[in-house]
Structure 1
Amino acid sequence: MTILVTGARGNIGSQVVARLHSIGRPLRASSRRASGLAVPRGVQTVALDLREPGTFRAALHGVTQVFLYAEPDGVADFLKAADEAGVRNVVVLSSNTVMLPGADKDPLAQHHRVVEDAVFASGLPHVLLRPGAFASNALGWSADIREGRAVQQPFADAQVSPVHDADVADVAVAALAEGSRMSGVVPLSGPQSLSFRTEVGIIAELLGREIQVRDLDRDEARETMGRFVPPPVLASLLDQWEAGLSRPADTNATCGPWTGAPARTFRQWVGEHLGAFGDMPAR
Structure 2
Amino acid sequence: MPDNSGPTGSPHRPTILVTGATGNLGREVAGRLSAHGARVKRLVRGLGDQRGQRSGRPGAERVVGDLTAPAAMRAALRGVDAVFLIWPLLDSAPARALVAELAAAAPRVVYLSSTAIDDEAVRQSDPIVQVHADMEALLGDAGLRPLVLRSDTLASNARGWAPQLRAGDVVSGPDIARTAVVDERDVADAAVAVLLGHRGRLGHGPYLLTGPEILTRADQVALLGTALGRRLRFRAVAADLARSRMLADGRPERLVEALVAASLHRPASSRTTDHVERLTGRPAGTFARWAADHAAEFGGARG
CA distance in 1, matches of 2:292, 2:81: 37
In the superposition, the TM-score normalised over structure 1's length comes to: 0.86
The answer to whether the 8 A contact 1:126-1:184 is kept is no
One-letter amino acid matched to 1:98: I
Per the TM alignment, residue 102 of structure 1 is displaced from its structure 2 partner at its CA by 7.4
**Residues 7 and 237 of structure 1: CA distance in aligned 2, closer, same or farther (over 3 Å):** same
- 1:137-179 deviation line (CA, Å, top 9, x unaligned): 22222212111142113337x4221110001111111111117
2:165 aligned residue (145, 150, 156):
145
Per the TM alignment, residue 67 of structure 1 is displaced from its structure 2 partner at its CA by 0.8
The equivalent of 1:193 in structure 2 is 214
CA distance in 1, matches of 2:182, 2:194: 17
CA distance in 2, matches of 1:186, 1:201: 29
1:119 aligned residue (102, 125, 139):
139
State whether structure 2 residue 190 is matched by structure 1 residue 174.
no
Q: How does 1:201-216 map to 2 (within 5 A)?
A: 201-216=222-237
Whose helix proportion is higher, 1 or 2?
1
State whether structure 2 residue 259 is matched by structure 1 residue 234.
yes
Q: Which residues of structure 2 form unaligned runs of 5+?
A: 1-13
The equivalent of 2:76 in structure 1 is 59
Give 3-state SS (helix, strand or coil) of 2:206's partner: strand
The equivalent of 1:11 in structure 2 is 24
Per the TM alignment, residue 253 of structure 1 is displaced from its structure 2 partner at its CA by 4.8
One-letter amino acid matched to 2:130: Q
CA distance in 1, matches of 2:233, 2:102: 50
The answer to whether the 8 A contact 1:6-1:67 is kept is yes
2:33 aligned residue (20, 26, 32):
20
Per the TM alignment, residue 120 of structure 1 is displaced from its structure 2 partner at its CA by 0.9
One-letter amino acid matched to 2:190: V
The equivalent of 2:113 in structure 1 is 94
- 1:166-200 deviation line (CA, Å, top 9, x unaligned): 01111111111117712641121111112211211
State whether structure 2 residue 46 is matched by structure 1 residue 33.
yes
- The two structures, once aligned, show a CA RMSD in angstroms of 2.6
**Residues 180 and 261 of structure 1: CA distance in aligned 2, closer, same or farther (over 3 Å):** closer
Per the TM alignment, residue 225 of structure 1 is displaced from its structure 2 partner at its CA by 4.1
CA distance in 2, matches of 1:256, 1:65: 22
- 1:184-218 deviation line (CA, Å, top 9, x unaligned): 41121111112211211111122112223323244
Taking only the aligned residue pairs, the percentage that are identical comes to: 33
One-letter amino acid matched to 1:66: V
Aligned length: 276
CA distance in 2, matches of 1:233, 1:147: 27
1:265 aligned residue (283, 286, 301):
286
One-letter amino acid matched to 1:54: A
One-letter amino acid matched to 2:75: A
* Structure 1 residue ranges, 4+ long, deviating more than 6 angstroms after superposition: none
Give 3-state SS (helix, strand or coil) of 1:116's partner: helix
The answer to whether the 8 A contact 2:18-2:43 is kept is yes
Per the TM alignment, residue 249 of structure 1 is displaced from its structure 2 partner at its CA by 3.2
The answer to whether the 8 A contact 1:226-1:234 is kept is no
CA distance in 1, matches of 2:78, 2:246: 43
Per the TM alignment, residue 256 of structure 1 is displaced from its structure 2 partner at its CA by 0.7
Per the TM alignment, residue 36 of structure 1 is displaced from its structure 2 partner at its CA by 4.3
Q: Which residues of structure 1 form unaligned runs of 5+?
A: none
The equivalent of 1:2 in structure 2 is 15
Which has the higher mean CA deviation after the structures are superposed, 223-232 or 200-209?
223-232
Which has the higher mean CA deviation after the structures are superposed, 186-195 or 36-45?
36-45
Give 3-state SS (helix, strand or coil) of 2:156's partner: helix
**Residues 184 and 199 of structure 1: CA distance in aligned 2, closer, same or farther (over 3 Å):** same
